[in-house]
Structure 1
Amino acid sequence: MGRRIGDNLVSSQFAQIGVHQELNQANQKIEELTTEIERLKASGNKSAEEKKVVELHSSLQSQGIQKIALSQIKPNPEQPRQTFSSESLLLLARSLESDGQQQPILLFAHRDKEYFLFDGERRWRAAQLLRWKIIDAVIIPQRDSASLEKPETLRRQALLVNHHRENLNPLDLAEALVKEIATREGISELEIPKLLNALMARLTRRNLVDELTTLVSMTKEKQEEKLQKLASEGVIKEQENQIVRCLLSFQLNPASIKANVFPSLKFSDDLKAAIRNDGLGGHHAKVIQQLNAESLDKSEKEALIIRQQLTKEVIEGKLSVAATRTRVASELAKHTQQEKPLMSTVTQKAIAVITGVKLNEMEKTELEAFEKALKEKLKEIRANFKK
């Protein structure tokens, strides 16, 4: 195992005065802490992990805290977290102003007098609002300085630290995962959600969803055995396998990502902006997304205005997801009842079934059969028009 975070910080502190015994003890403590943190992350014991992270921070701060000019710090260009609402930054800035900086940010030394942010971008942004010139930081020794030139290295490191803290919203997580999988496996970003949808639909038809979801808690060796078995049985295809492996490397459940994370990629631009700038929740956005031009029978411009008004109401009123769902249903009913003729319940259900079919989750043979059935039904409809 290579040297861990903090080795160089401790060494430079003690080497100058030659206190070798203290140096060894300090290095040993950091070695033990980082090993324990890795074990706790793997086991999912988040409470114990957070306590050890605090302890590690304490060890590093006492020996390596520095004052770094804000102008020398650059955000990680591959940072998965893109959501920094103005309200949350303002609140943090007030806290920094009144209580001071409680914890240093973590940086990678990049070039001469230049650093990349690894952890603490919110604190860095809030400090800029206060027009601070310097900020407390800990410099993380980089075992391979060339790795900072690789975007995929920065992205994966930042994705890991954010995922372990569970502080990425569904939109940021979805975009980061798609980039990571595309870079790692060479699959088109647009195809990744479609491939995962197709896999989950196939597993659902064969009652094999549990076969995939249980992989998350298995060891890497057991995961490989199971994936190879599913591949040999023709259940999972090559690119689908690659996507699942990447998700499992972050301890993510593919079924959950398909249902709760990747759908955010289809959010309208106004909802994405509301998530990132105004603090709109991902689940709220998923509900509001129903207010589209087609469902409202409006133009895109008219639908946008309705959606923005309701989004503002949800944010300012701090509505729950359930309350948002009720408001959206009310809005849909108001517009559809005004402008559409009443239909029988049977007709409404038939239309809902057809429009609700997810074609991108069907196999080719299923699409052909569905097309044939629709053509036959269309002939019947035309015949009835002539009566």
Structure 2
Amino acid sequence: MVQFSLVLLCLIASGVQCVPLKKRIAQSIPAATAKWEQICNAAGGGLQCNQMSVAAFSTLLAAPDPCDQQNSADQMIDLAKKLGNNAQMIQLAQIFRQQPRNTPTSLSVPYCQKAPKNAELEGLYQCQFASANPKLFVGGVTVGQPGTIPFGLDAPLSTPGSCPASPNAAVPDGAQLVDITQNPGGGGKGDGKKDGKKDGKKDGKKDGKEDGKKDGKKDEKDEKPAKLAPTVAQPAMAAPDLSTFRLQNGKDAQAQNALFATLNKNSECTLGEQACINNNYAQCVNGKFVTTKCAKSLSCFALPLVNRPGTSIACTTSADATDRITASGTTGGITGNGTAAPPPSKAPATPTPATDSLTTIGGGFQLQNGKDAQSLNASFTKISKDAPCTCEGFTLF
């Protein structure tokens, strides 16, 4: 009935096109930097690896600024250069830079409009998910307006939704680009760049950048694709019997969350210890906890691992944390005593089943959906029956 009514209104409004409301396209954001973090740890990055990984994948949510993803990729490359100019870390950062971002109401996500810090990211921009409207961007902005054309280009993409790593098509909804290709397709190579891009490069380059590229770039181009796939894709260990440790992982995560609730920044700690303090990620430095704020709408939790014994500490939604602990077979909520999850999100009444995709952050989409609805309702007050719109088809949900 809802679908029929929308189509009928579109047909009645002669000369006026209709914009349907579509569901939000989300993904398992931790997967976007998991392989980079693995290589970073192997290269000796230590605590910086997880901290930078969490900060980076959080930029794939709907709320962050269009340039936050590029800024995080720059930081990932900065660390790679400190760790012996690690070619695999640089390549994975290039691919992360092009990972599609979550999109409310299935609209395309605006592109960053400034040059990156590192030459390896020049000419790179995020793909869009396949179901994202190629003609309309978040905020109702039409193609051709500011933010709808990648930085350095002077015309819309000939293949809407594509990026250098996926030049022929957008990325399937919810998929990870790093699982599709190991070739970033560009980044500081100079192919296909416009005059405006060259000017931006002059402004953004540092004196020593060209020398660094000459020393490490040639070998990197030839060897990275061949080396990366077997090194990154190979599992760290064979998958054991899941039934032997999942329940214990859930209990351990509950115990950690209960302990974290008693800590503050002045609590005693040992070097390298990690925790969650006041919903923020914390690590022990010189006998004191140093906290790092989670991204907007996320909080810090201890979470049960899915494929091996142990727990991890990450920024996610309270609903997702509850889902993961419940899926382990453990009862009692996040802290083991039935205490309601910390803000900002409320856990759903029915937990999701336990699967290997439990790293998905999608369990916390309710809050963002509410914000998206508020934004739409506010925009509706400014629209008249004569306002231009497009008719793309309808989704009943």
**TM-score bin (small chain):** under 0.3
Q: Which has the higher contact order (CA 8 A, sep 6+)?
A: 2
Query: Normalized against structure 1, the TM-score is what?
Result: 0.25
Q: Which structure: larger Rg?
A: 1
TM-score, with length taken from structure 2: 0.24
